[in-house]
Amino acid sequence: MKQIKIKGKNKLTGTIRISGAKNAAVALIPAAILSDEDVTICNVPEISDINSLEEILRYLNVKFSRATESIIINPKDMTNKEIPEDISRKLRASYYFMGALLSKYKKVEMYFPGGCNIGSRPINLHLDGFKKLGATVIEENDKYTIEAKKLIGTKIDLEIASVGATINIILAATKAKGTTTITNAACEPEIKNVCDLLNSMGAKITGAGTNTIKIKGVTKLKKGYVEVIPDRIEAGTYIIIGSLIGENLKIDNIIPEHLKALTTKLLESNANIEIGRDYVLASSSNDLKSVDVETYYFPGFPTDLQQPFSVYLTQTKGTSILKETIYENRFMHVPYLNRMGANIKVDGKELKIKGKTQLEGKMVASTDLRGGAAMIVAGLISKGTTTINDVEHILRGYEGIVEKLSLVGAKIEIREIK
């Protein structure tokens, strides 16, 4: 088990360069297998979710070479076979192999995906989409066999604007016969990034980034290239940190437009941030005031920043209501924050956060990826030392978090414990 220790209250100054987006990269790698030629993906983050996807590529005999920040994937000699349960369950994004293998081979056998335990996360909309395209789905003890004689383009109206279902249906429809139209599609920037790669490979997809996406099926995909967009959730986490304990902390290599929901709320609460062309400069402020926030689909306030933002709200004066509308159970970090001195009440889907409270370092745990990031934010602003256990969750999604924070002055270290 890995553990992070933080000695809090050190001002952070300097520059943090944001890495490629986890939630784009984890879809781009499965998308690449649709080609039979080289596909190059640049700005790939060094996180353990990517290592788990590489394990699937290796298992399916897909050749790839990884260099710093890039990966070249060549699926010419790949074999389609059942992806075992232990590999499927390592991460959520293993489910993108459903759409990709179905598209390429018209058959896929794999298990229910893994990912953070933040409530029931069904994949019914993915499966319904495959069925509408002409596939049959058999589920037995969490194992899915999805097969089609032919995939035929159709109209698919998503009941929920799900990121995963949107991408999986795009993957499955890319080589289908005719045109597929997805309405109420998710608009997250990661989806456009995936479509940009597929289009560079010869796919015919329009509308990505809006809620209506059209996919005109093609028979063959060739070599392709894409650069992973900057990780808006990693960036948002550091912007929150900078607003609490920064001194001109520059969060660099970002697309500010992707972070508008966060920066709007920060400015509303008097945060000391300056938004540049591709960076945000953040400094602490003694004058932060409470603000109400509700998570929502893009361009709304991202659920993935809800947990780090809950720590921010412990430092604002007054009572804030933070409502989670996407997941059932994304408040598991709250008891730890309260143990550190926060005053947070969980009321159904809402947090009632009373500030400002002085947090104190304690022994805590990372309950999930973003819950772990929240513990790091809390540790950095606390008096004394915070020890965070189970930090493997954090390493799934934040590239070099300990190194990045150390470089700007944080007293933070990671070690292996028994």
Active site residues: 116
CB atoms near residue 267 (< 10 Å): 14
- Closer by beta carbon to ligand EPU, 52 or else 315: 52
Among positions 29, 39, 165, 288, the unique one binding ligand EPU when judged by CB under 6 A? 165
Sequence-ordered list of residues with C-beta below 8 angstroms from that of 262, at least 6 positions apart, any chain: 236, 239, 240, 301, 302, 305, 309
| Strand-strand pairing, 224-227 and 39-42 | parallel
Q: Tell me if 124 contacts ligand EPU by CB under 6 A.
A: yes
Q: Tell me if 18 contacts ligand EPU by CB under 6 A.
A: no
Among positions 19, 35, 43, 162, the unique one binding ligand EPU when judged by CB under 6 A? 162
Among positions 104, 106, 370, 404, the unique one binding ligand EPU when judged by CB under 6 A? 370
Among positions 38, 231, 234, 304, the unique one binding ligand EPU when judged by CB under 6 A? 304
Q: Tell me if 208 contacts ligand EPU by CB under 6 A.
A: no
| Cross-strand pairs, 147 | 107, 136
Among positions 303, 314, 320, 367, the unique one binding ligand EPU when judged by CB under 6 A? 303
Nearest to 79 by CA among 101, 94, 64, 96: 101
- Closer by beta carbon to ligand EPU, 128 or else 252: 128
Nearest to 369 by CA among 169, 233, 173, 190: 233
Among positions 89, 90, 104, 126, the unique one binding ligand EPU when judged by CB under 6 A? 126
The Cα–Cα gap between 317 and 239 comes to 19
Instruction: Assign 3-class secondary structure to 47-75.
Output: CHHHHHHHHHHHHCCCEEEEECCEEEEEC
- Closer by beta carbon to ligand EPU, 38 or else 188: 188
Q: Tell me if 376 contacts ligand EPU by CB under 6 A.
A: no
Number of H helices, E strands in the chain: 14, 23
Report helix angle 306-313 to 232-245, nearest 10. 10
- Closer by beta carbon to ligand EPU, 202 or else 300: 300
Name the closest residue to ligand EPU (Cβ).
164
268 φ/ψ angles, rounded to the nearest 5 degrees: -60, -30
Q: With b meaning 16 or more CB within 10 Å and e meaning fewer, what string describes 1-32?
A: ebbbbbbbebebeeebbbbbbbbbbbbbbbbb
| Strand-strand pairing, 155-157 and 136-140 | unpaired
Q: Tell me if 369 contacts ligand EPU by CB under 6 A.
A: yes
Report helix angle 232-245 to 260-268, nearest 10. 20
| Cross-strand pairs, 48 | none
- Closer by beta carbon to ligand EPU, 49 or else 227: 49
Q: Tell me if 281 contacts ligand EPU by CB under 6 A.
A: no
Q: C-beta of 112: minimal distance to ligand EPU in Å? A: 11
The Cα–Cα gap between 13 and 1 comes to 30
Q: C-beta of 250: minimal distance to ligand EPU in Å? A: 24
Q: Tell me if 26 contacts ligand EPU by CB under 6 A.
A: yes
- Closer by beta carbon to ligand EPU, 297 or else 312: 297
The residue written with tokens 């589920």 in the block is 139
The residue written with tokens 């229910």 in the block is 112
Among positions 90, 92, 250, 258, the unique one binding ligand EPU when judged by CB under 6 A? 92
Q: C-beta of 295: minimal distance to ligand EPU in Å? A: 9
Q: Tell me if 35 contacts ligand EPU by CB under 6 A.
A: no
Structure token pair of residue 418: 């028994």
Query: Applying CB under 6 A, what is the total number of residues that bind ligand EPU?
Result: 25
Among positions 23, 103, 237, 269, the unique one binding ligand EPU when judged by CB under 6 A? 23
| Window contacting ligand EPU (CB under 6 A); options: 4-12, 57-65, 118-126, 359-367 | 118-126
- Closer by beta carbon to ligand EPU, 180 or else 382: 180
Q: Tell me if 295 contacts ligand EPU by CB under 6 A.
A: no
Q: Tell me if 396 contacts ligand EPU by CB under 6 A.
A: no
Nearest to 232 by CA among 182, 169, 163: 163
- Closer by beta carbon to ligand EPU, 333 or else 362: 333
* Interface positions with ligand EPU (CB under 6 A): 23, 26, 92-93, 116, 121-126, 160, 162-165, 186, 188, 303-304, 326-327, 369-370, 397
